[in-house]
Structure 1
Amino acid sequence: MNDSAPAAARRARVRAPELIGEGGWLNTGGKEYTLADLRGRIVVLDFWTFCCINCLHVLDELRELEEKHRDTVVIIGVHSPKFVHEAEHEAVVDAVERYGVEHPVLDDPELATWKQYAVRAWPTLVVIDPEGYVVAQHAGEGHAHAIATLVEELEAEHEAKGTLHRGEGPYVAPEPVATDLRFPGKALLLPSGNFLVSDTTRHQLVELAADGESVVRRIGSGERGFGPESFNEPQGLALLDENTVVVADTVNHALRAVDLASGAISTLAGTGKQWWQGTPNSGPALEVDLSSPWDVAVFGGKVWIAMAGVHQLWTYDPRAGTVEVAAGTTNEGLVDGPGAEAWFAQPSGLAATEERLWVADSETSALRYVDTEGAVHTAVGTGLFDFGHRDGDAGQALFQHPLGVTALPDGSVAVCDTYNHALRRFDPATGQVTTLATDLREPSDAVLDGGSGEIVVVESARHRLTRLRLPDEAVRVESVAHRTQRAATEVAGGKLALDVIFQAPAGQKLDTRYGPSTRLLVSATPPELLAAGDGAGTDLARELVLNPQVTEGVLHVSAMAASCDDDPANEYPACHVHQQDWGVPVRVAEGGADRLPLVLAGMDAPA
């Protein structure tokens, strides 16, 4: 379904289910809310989880709406975890501060509200009108403009009816905490022996003395921005030469350079805008958009970029001043092979040796590497839905959302196993994974201190650097394995009608000036689950055929639609891209559904 719908049809009278979550409420000063408490306001529910880069993009997309309509709109984040760690209340509290969330958040560790609203993907946005009815649902990114237009319509409609109540919202800011670092992301050992740390939540870089504690200086204003003195949630750091540090300026979607002598900040790559499908992904570095660069490393004479926002690795050529895609297709998953065919899932950590570029591929809980020929290999990890803490042979070992990787002198690598609060080690010579240290708190990066023989770990959620002596024998831990807790959708064997629902927002139409404006890509884990219907196409509806010999698995669906303002008098209408990836666990069962509806934008009544 991909045609435009009138406002009356779009606003089906579906009463919004109540908001429930065992974890309680954050950013409300301790008060709990019901939908009745919010009657008279336009409510936007943002179903998110803090591991998800697309969810972080949506948080930033909503900031302007949140500010402009603060007296009529209440945004409520419903935190719905994927990983076991994300179900911990303390971790949600940390994430809300880490990413600057300035609206109430309902902690829903058991996915109770997620199920009530029949949500199938992170992120999903649901709009509720002042009378308590659901009027729109959007999955994925790129919907902020459509929601802003809908909000203005709802304001006018309910102002006229007398059902709109303006006033202060329920958000109560938490008390600030005084620490030298606040959720630091990455660290770098400088030629001076000092450490440079990306102080992510405070939008700065901090230089610490060789003790890893004493502050030498701060670089950046500390305010979000893309100016000559500003960063926006910076992460990865790499030495380009003895006096220049490359910075992955994540939320600015840019690579920045810092002159260590003067502290001056300049831009190497990116425009400050997020990359979208259909825009150039190579060319002059200052003319090409990037998407949430999370880490950087110098490998083969180029700066490699962990482009978390589009599940790819890019390179920046400092001599030519250009960027290009080096590996990854933008499809999310774990597929090895030539760079142009490989799939990643939110690569977030890089470490280079002469022979390999190691990659912490966070959403697949995997350790991967790129060889000198550009081919991608997996050392540890099996896919998007398997994770845990298990040592032993690499084929059976498990991580949980690792964000950092560090090359060690003996050819092995240390992995910051972030959601397991551990430092792990993989030895390519033996194929074994061991645990080096536990009881860390969300370690996100580590660097070797060559002078001391110690490894210095960024304990992000403890706001500090922690020194560890690499032990002769690894710590032993009990093996734990998990799968994501979302319940599988029961489907009938044989034919399954896949229907991605997209209704162009009011005042817009599908952009068909240059051909089809929609794209659909379908695959499965295991691949044998699909007997027919996999591959790419432009129709958002497709008939799939499930293999009767495979009783369960995951359907991977990636959809994109482009819509433009529908005004014949406007020669250059504004256009908007809407996109989302779904991983839908399915189980073949007698009496199961023969239709799988996925809402990209619009409404589909829950079954």
Structure 2
Amino acid sequence: MAENLRSTRVRASELVGRNWLNTGEKQLSLEDLRGKIVILDFWTFCCMNCLHVLDELRPLEEEFSDILVTVGVHSPKFEHEADPDALAAAVDRYDITHPVLDDPNLTTWSAYTARAWPTLVVVDPEGYVVAHLSGEGHVQGLISLVRELAEEHEAKGTLHRGNGPYVPRPKPQGVFAFPGKAARLPESLGGGYLVTDTARHRLVQVEEDLQTEISRIGGVQKGWADGDREAARFNEPQGFALVPEHLREQLGYDVLVADSVNHRLRAVSLASGEVKTVAGNGEQRLTSSDNARSADPNFIATGADPLTVALSSPWDIVWSSSASLFLVAMAGTHQIFSFDPLTGQLAVFAGTGAEGLKDGAADEAWFAQTSGLAEAADGSVWAADSETSALRRIVFEDGAVRVETAIGIGLFDFGFVDGTIEEARMQHCLGVTALPDGSVAVADTYNGAIRRFDPASGELTTLARGLAEPSDVLVETTDEGARLIVVESNAHELTRVAIPEHVQKVNEGASQTARPATRLTGGTLNFESRFTAPAGQKLDTRWGDPTQLKISSTPEDFILEGAGTSQGLTRSLVLNPEIEEAVLHITARAASCDGEPGGEIPDHAACHLYQQDWGIPVVVTGSEDDESDLVLDLRGVN
């Protein structure tokens, strides 16, 4: 792909948006960036894959700080993400250290023909596009490309070294900085509340007033280190679960923490402050494999050392009394994992890894960036699926596990509507808790609200609104009755909220993402995913075709022929003429090993599995002017 773009010399489009962040209020243009190698990172702050790319780019930005400028182009999916204050908070939350263009109308997104979040576009020092890539995992290829461009333009005299346009923003002050989750601690563990102080990379225990600090574990600098409360380091810890009382002495720890950016589970003893890693090798799951030919996203060997297993952005944890296991919301792979603390066994508990909303048996269900878990009184587990704005339920019955949807429609539908299951809408919900009456409270994050779903009536109502991106909610029982404690992430505080006897009815409309649907002619759609192995690697053809496509749709009958999984990166799909709007779910995979093209793959060569997932909204127009061929690029760049 990079070779093709460089040979055709495509001039980069101007960067057009509402405003710039991280530039000291200066409005930038492409001309201001002339002489630098520029990476345009098209992202949206709800997107887990985009957050992965932010972290992937950090070492690249550091190594080439004098010649490379990353520009984040924020092109929102959800309505809330178009709010400039919400974007500014996200830039602070994720410690973004490069300029960010606010592109609320997707003007620059469209000019660069982006189709998915994240998309990376590389512009050379003369202002020409030299690479256009979607998804994660491009860093090694980008390092090679940046070095090649630096050498070429140094020789031409068109490369300008020196500082870039980044100007840091002031940091939030107070007890917390973008807190993630919270839980009440029993008196045996010191009482008060434990909070993940996510943007400061630590755990904080506070008194009943929700502000006075009792103790802290971890430092304000991100990292990964086990040790005592001062030496330990986390990287954006999110959810956690208290260890059941009957297991604490045997295990030697009190809390299991989802250390999201470290892709690890951490065990914490609150009395001593000691932190140790109990699962995860620090690598992001599905980016590579020592045996890429046999890699299976749902396979974890029985008896595998949990410290050798790759995880992907664990976001929340709950102890399941029904399963006698910890369940982990593995947001990065759209799955629920289980962890047995006694044996260390990790397993995929539910979800195929496909991103979307599909109910059924646990091993057939689809999730979408699950970000909150809570156990109900009957032993079932509620799950907040953020990317489908859905409330899901994991049910244990007659030895089987199944997944149900209470509220939610799909990847691109959201809103702020109370009512029946058919009518109700939420917007990127992150937290959930069971209420004393058997109903459930949901942190409806992008609506700034706490919602209540009553399974008995099938009704969704609103308990509170006007909150600053609530990321978690829990119940506090007092002599006067129950009330809620809300983690207001963007307000950097915990807030008490009464549970009103009568709730207000809300209908502010249902919406779909502003991302434009791909317009299809209809009839037959020819799909191709292009893949070029990164420099120093070659396709692993020793046992046949090392590539694979998995294609499905919502609704399922949109594809009459061509759905399913098979080898190869091309597919011809026959579309249902009776359906005009749908979502295509596409997963492309390729395996390559270290070795030069044309040569033999050395024994013991490291092999790599590349995978990219797309959820593409489409509309069938019947017009021959629209798409009958769809081409997307898998990872890899020369």
Band of TM-score, shorter chain: over 0.9
> Out of 272, 285, 292, which is 2:282 matched to?
272
Give 1:486 shift.
Answer: 1.7
Is residue 88 of structure 1 aligned with residue 83 of structure 2? yes
**Separation in structure 2 between the aligned mates of residue 31 and residue 565 of structure 1, nearest angstrom:** 44
> Out of 458, 466, 471, which is 2:500 matched to?
471
Give 1:9 shift.
Answer: 6.7
The one-letter amino acid paired with 1:374 is V
Deviations 1:363-408 (A, max 9, x none): 0110001111321111111110110011111222111010000011
Instruction: Look up the match of 2:185.
Output: 190
User: TM-score by structure 2 length?
Assistant: 0.91
**Separation in structure 2 between the aligned mates of residue 562 and residue 68 of structure 1, nearest angstrom:** 28
> Out of 97, 102, 107, which is 1:102 matched to?
97
The one-letter amino acid paired with 1:599 is D
Deviations 1:254-282 (A, max 9, x none): 11011011111111111111111626534
SS in 2 for 1:587: strand
Give 1:476 shift.
Answer: 2.3
* Residues 237, 295 of structure 1: 8 Å contact kept: yes
Give 1:60 shift.
Answer: 0.7
Instruction: Look up the match of 2:569.
Output: 540
Instruction: Look up the match of 1:364.
Output: 388
Q: Tell me: CA distance 1:11–1:255, structure 2 relative to 1, closer, same or farther (3 Å).
A: farther
* Residues 461, 504 of structure 2: 8 Å contact kept: yes
Instruction: Look up the match of 1:345.
Output: 368
Instruction: Look up the match of 2:292.
Output: none
* Residues 306, 313 of structure 1: 8 Å contact kept: yes
Instruction: Look up the match of 2:37.
Output: 42
The one-letter amino acid paired with 1:596 is L
The one-letter amino acid paired with 1:355 is G
Once the two structures are superposed, the pairs formed by residues 135-154 of structure 1 within 5 Å of their partners are 135-154=130-149
Deviations 1:128-168 (A, max 9, x none): 11111111111111111111111111111111111111110
The one-letter amino acid paired with 2:336 is L
Q: Tell me: CA distance 1:557–1:502, structure 2 relative to 1, closer, same or farther (3 Å).
A: same
**Separation in structure 2 between the aligned mates of residue 139 and residue 8 of structure 1, nearest angstrom:** 16
Instruction: Look up the match of 1:595.
Output: 629
Once the two structures are superposed, the pairs formed by residues 84-483 of structure 1 within 5 Å of their partners are 84-192=79-187, 193-228=191-226, 229-242=232-245, 244-276=254-286, 278=295, 281-282=300-301, 283-299=304-320, 300-353=323-376, 354-372=378-396, 373-451=400-478, 453-483=482-512
**Separation in structure 1 between the aligned mates of residue 5 and residue 533 of structure 2, nearest angstrom:** 12
Give 1:576 shift.
Answer: 4.1
* Residues 200, 219 of structure 2: 8 Å contact kept: no
* Residues 291, 310 of structure 1: 8 Å contact kept: yes
* Residues 141, 578 of structure 1: 8 Å contact kept: no
SS in 1 for 2:568: coil
**Separation in structure 2 between the aligned mates of residue 575 and residue 69 of structure 1, nearest angstrom:** 27
Give 1:287 shift.
Answer: 1.8
RMSD of aligned alpha carbons: 1.7
Give 1:39 shift.
Answer: 1.0
> Out of 3, 8, 19, which is 1:12 matched to?
8
SS in 2 for 1:100: coil
The one-letter amino acid paired with 2:204 is V
Give 1:8 shift.
Answer: 6.8
**Separation in structure 2 between the aligned mates of residue 599 and residue 47 of structure 1, nearest angstrom:** 15
**Separation in structure 1 between the aligned mates of residue 545 and residue 339 of structure 2, nearest angstrom:** 32
* Residues 6, 129 of structure 2: 8 Å contact kept: no
* Residues 137, 602 of structure 1: 8 Å contact kept: no
The one-letter amino acid paired with 1:326 is F
Q: Which region of structure 1 is more displaced relative to structure 2, 505-514 or 371-380?
A: 505-514
* Residues 184, 198 of structure 1: 8 Å contact kept: yes
**Separation in structure 1 between the aligned mates of residue 109 and residue 326 of structure 2, nearest angstrom:** 40
Once the two structures are superposed, the pairs formed by residues 503-542 of structure 1 within 5 Å of their partners are 503-542=532-571
Q: Tell me: CA distance 1:523–1:506, structure 2 relative to 1, closer, same or farther (3 Å).
A: same
Give 1:503 shift.
Answer: 2.3
Give 1:573 shift.
Answer: 4.0
Give 1:345 shift.
Answer: 0.6
The one-letter amino acid paired with 1:436 is L
**Separation in structure 1 between the aligned mates of residue 58 and residue 341 of structure 2, nearest angstrom:** 34
SS in 1 for 2:62: helix
Give 1:199 shift.
Answer: 0.5
SS in 1 for 2:27: coil
* Residues 136, 602 of structure 1: 8 Å contact kept: no
**Separation in structure 1 between the aligned mates of residue 536 and residue 241 of structure 2, nearest angstrom:** 46
* Residues 358, 367 of structure 1: 8 Å contact kept: yes
Q: Tell me: CA distance 1:404–1:344, structure 2 relative to 1, closer, same or farther (3 Å).
A: same
Deviations 1:210-248 (A, max 9, x none): 111111111101211111101000000111134601100
> Out of 505, 518, 537, which is 1:489 matched to?
518
SS in 2 for 1:441: coil
Deviations 1:514-548 (A, max 9, x none): 54332211111222221111111221111111111
**Separation in structure 1 between the aligned mates of residue 546 and residue 207 of structure 2, nearest angstrom:** 53
Q: Tell me: CA distance 1:94–1:577, structure 2 relative to 1, closer, same or farther (3 Å).
A: farther
Give 1:12 shift.
Answer: 3.4
**Separation in structure 1 between the aligned mates of residue 605 and residue 20 of structure 2, nearest angstrom:** 41
Deviations 1:350-370 (A, max 9, x none): 001242110001101100011
**Separation in structure 2 between the aligned mates of residue 296 and residue 8 of structure 1, nearest angstrom:** 46
Give 1:441 shift.
Answer: 0.9
* Residues 23, 99 of structure 2: 8 Å contact kept: yes
**Separation in structure 2 between the aligned mates of residue 583 and residue 81 of structure 1, nearest angstrom:** 15
* Residues 315, 328 of structure 2: 8 Å contact kept: yes
% same residue = 54
**Separation in structure 2 between the aligned mates of residue 420 and residue 518 of structure 1, nearest angstrom:** 41
The one-letter amino acid paired with 2:13 is P
The one-letter amino acid paired with 1:594 is S
Give 1:11 shift.
Answer: 4.8
* Residues 103, 171 of structure 1: 8 Å contact kept: yes
The one-letter amino acid paired with 1:18 is E
Instruction: Look up the match of 1:586.
Output: 618
Give 1:7 shift.
Answer: 4.3
* Residues 138, 636 of structure 2: 8 Å contact kept: no
**Separation in structure 2 between the aligned mates of residue 563 and residue 140 of structure 1, nearest angstrom:** 17
Instruction: Look up the match of 1:65.
Output: 60
* Residues 5, 130 of structure 2: 8 Å contact kept: no
User: TM-score by structure 1 length?
Assistant: 0.95
Q: Which region of structure 1 is more displaced relative to structure 2, 441-450 or 114-123?
A: 441-450
**Separation in structure 1 between the aligned mates of residue 272 and residue 432 of structure 2, nearest angstrom:** 30
Q: Tell me: CA distance 1:571–1:130, structure 2 relative to 1, closer, same or farther (3 Å).
A: farther
